[in-house]
């Protein structure tokens, strides 16, 4: 897979690409990154990529001609083009899975007041990482790239992410490790029992419990199995006490 990032601040990616799982994936040729400074596509002698908003107002707006030239020079018919904007669809695990199947994507990072509206006609989708505003799209591009890369074949073991929060529509079950007891807090006995069926049932129930208590909206969206409904009824009774 190839991930291209159009940005005004390419140096922000130095650490991101040289550490941890991302670096290992690059070294194993499982993913290729290309960081492109779209300031070089300015036709202004001062390399300006923005201008004042038509109709007046505060801030500066990224020019559509600059982004158009950058996309023409760095994409092809197979490139999936993504505009990073707080007005986009909120990123989630399903979108990450879908994007991990693409051969090539380009992430377009905004800055300043925003994008010229006409830039939207050059992209395939618009993505936001949440209902808040950042100074630019660089951090969202890192977050999205990280979530995609970990899903690629052979980057990490599949069973390391299959139970992640949101992978099955629920928050992940509680995790524990040694020491078995610390400051009066003990690892649940069932996790030490060696009974895989009981452990599986415990994890499902606690995953449902955590989701019910913290993100009821996810419960409402999920089509629960008969077993999950039974466990959820138990949880509601336990939590009402």
Query: What residue has token string 């596509």?
Result: 41
Q: Any idea what the Cα angle at residue 151 is, between residues 148 and 157, rounded to 5°?
A: 150
What is the SS3 assignment for 123?
A: coil
**Torsion angle (degrees, nearest 10) of CA 217, 219, 223, 229:** -160
150 is catalytic: yes
Q: Which of 50, 63, 86, 138 is catalytic?
A: 86
Q: Which of 51, 98, 164, 172 is catalytic?
A: 164
Q: Which of 65, 104, 113, 146 is catalytic?
A: 113
Q: Residues near 40 by Cβ (< 8 Å), separated by ≥ 6?
A: 47
Contact 59, 112 (CB under 8 A): yes
Q: Which of 39, 69, 120, 150 is catalytic?
A: 150
39 is catalytic: no
Task: Output the CA torsion sign for 8, 11, 15, 18.
Answer: positive
178 is catalytic: no
188 is catalytic: no
Would you name the residues annotated as active-site residues? Answer: 86, 113, 150, 164
């Amino acid at each position: 897979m190839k991930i291209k990032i159009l940005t005004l601040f390419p140096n922000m990616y130095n650490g991101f690409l040289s550490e941890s799982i991302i670096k290992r994936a690059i070294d194993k040729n499982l993913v290729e990154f290309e960081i492109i400074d779209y300031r070089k596509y300015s036709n202004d002698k001062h390399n300006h990529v923005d201008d004042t908003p038509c109709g007046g107002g505060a801030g500066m707006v990224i020019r559509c001609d600059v982004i158009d030239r950058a996309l023409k020079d760095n994409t092809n018919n197979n490139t999936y083009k993504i505009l990073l904007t707080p007005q986009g669809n909120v990123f989630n695990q399903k979108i990450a899975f879908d994007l991990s199947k693409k051969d090539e994507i380009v992430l377009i990072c905004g800055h300043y007041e925003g994008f010229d509206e006409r830039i939207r006609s050059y992209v395939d989708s618009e993505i936001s990482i949440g209902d808040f505003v950042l100074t630019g799209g660089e951090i969202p591009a890192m977050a999205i790239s990280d979530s995609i890369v970990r899903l690629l074949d052979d980057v990490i073991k599949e069973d390391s992410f299959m139970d992640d929060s949101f992978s099955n529509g629920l928050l992940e079950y509680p995790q524990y490790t040694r020491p078995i007891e610390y400051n009066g807090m003990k690892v649940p006995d069932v996790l030490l029992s060696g009974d895989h069926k009981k452990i599986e049932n415990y994890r499902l129930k606690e995953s449902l419990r955590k989701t019910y208590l913290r993100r009821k909206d996810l419960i409402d969206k999920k089509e629960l199995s008969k077993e999950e409904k039974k466990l959820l009824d138990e949880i509601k009774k336990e939590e009402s006490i």
